[in-house]
Chains A and B, each alone.
Chain A
Amino acid sequence: SQTIHQWPATLVQPVGSPLSLECTVEGTSNPNLYWYRQAAGRGLQLLFYSVGIGQISSEVPQNLSASRPQDRQFILSSKKLLLSDSGFYLCAWTASGNYNEQFFGPGTRLTVL
Chain B
Amino acid sequence: RKEVEQDPGPFNVPEGATVAFNCTYSNSASQSFFWYRQDCRKEPKLLMSVYSSGNEDGRFTAQLNRASQYISLLIRDSKLSDSATYLCVLTTDSWGKFQFGAGTQVVVTP
26 A-B pairs in the complex with CB atoms less than 8 angstroms apart: A32-B95, A32-B96, A36-B100, A41-B8, A41-B102, A43-B4, A43-B87, A43-B100, A43-B102, A43-B103, A44-B100, A46-B97, A49-B97, A99-B32, A99-B96, A99-B98, A100-B32, A100-B49, A102-B46, A102-B89, A104-B44, A104-B45, A105-B43, A106-B42, A107-B42, A109-B41
Contact call B103/A94, Cβ cutoff below 8 A: no
Given the known A-B contacts A43-B103, A49-B97, are A99 and B44 also in contact in the complex, defined by CB atoms under 8 Å? no
Per-residue A-contact encoding for B2-13, CB less than 8 Å = 1, 0 else: 001000100000
Residue of A nearest to B49 (CB): A100
Interchain CA distance A99-B31 in the complex, whole Å: 10
* Chain B interfacial positions (CB closer than 8 Å to A): 4, 8, 32, 34, 41-46, 49, 87, 89, 91, 95-98, 100-103
Interchain CA distance A104-B100 in the complex, whole Å: 13
Residues of chain A within 8 A of B95, CB atoms compared: 32, 51
Residue of B nearest to A102 (CB): B98
Interchain CA distance A32-B98 in the complex, whole Å: 12
- 10 tightest A-B contacts by CB? A43-B102, A104-B43, A99-B96, A44-B100, A43-B100, A101-B46, A94-B96, A107-B43, A32-B96, A99-B91
